[in-house]
Amino acid sequence: MSNQPKQKEALASAYDKHSDMLFRLALAQLGNSEDAMDAVHDVFLRFFDTQPDFKDSEHERAWFIRATVNRCHDIQRHKKIRAHPSLDEIGDVAANDDGEATKQLYRALSALPEKYSSVITLHYLEGFSVEEIASMLRITQSGIKMRLSRGREALKKLIETEEE
């Protein structure tokens, strides 16, 4: 029982450091805030249950990103099986940002294939380098660069189509 306060402190610290980034990543992949919140919640539950040991803060961040991407895949797979109709609106992107341009960007990102939306989100919205993303997603750097290039093109087409 003496370990429980330590667990709660570790969970609170990890939540403060990573929750916003993980929410944006999940939102870009899943397309709606409810599913994104569920994915992030599930990742933190897994963190609390498994109590993984990390070498350093980079390893911790990579674990959270990988766990979130995996959980988003699970949710998407479950939705395909259940064939739920998707929501048309993303809703609030963040509590302090209700701009239409931001909503349009997240709608477009959610329409992209996951392999493009995740690298675009990590690189452009979260500021990770190509090398860091390659390490986190276990993909070559050239693969990341190709996904960024193809993702940008697809995103540009989606936004142009939406504006018409």
C-alpha 102/C-alpha 128 separation (Å) is 20
CB atoms within 10 A of CB 22: 27
C-alpha 144/C-alpha 119 separation (Å) is 7
The CATH number of whichever domain residue 26 belongs to comes to: 1.20.140.160
Asked if 25 and 108 count as a contact pair (C-beta separation under 8 A), the reply is no
Comparison of pLDDT for 81 and 36, the residue scoring more: 36
In percent, the amount of the chain with pLDDT more than 90 equals 34
Element (H, E) at 9: helix 4-30
C-alpha 136/C-alpha 130 separation (Å) is 10
- Can you say how many angstroms the Cα of residue 150 is from the centroid of all Cα atoms in its chain? 19
Q: Reply yes or no on whether the pLDDT at 88 is more than 70.
A: no
Q: What residues have CB less than 8 Å from 125, skipping those under 6 apart? A: 24, 28
- pTM > 0.85: yes or no: no
40 three-state secondary structure: helix
Q: 């960024």: which residue's tokens?
A: 148
151 three-state secondary structure: helix
In the chain, where do the E strands start and end? none
Mean pLDDT over 22-47 rounds to 91
pLDDT of residue 81: 56
* Token pair in block for residue 67: 């766990």
User: Of how many residues is the chain composed?
Assistant: 164
Domain that holds residue 110: 4-163
In the predicted model, what is the mean pLDDT of the chain?
A: 81
Band of the pLDDT at 157, cuts 50, 70, 90?
A: confident
Band of the pLDDT at 98, cuts 50, 70, 90?
A: low
* Number of domains within the chain: 1
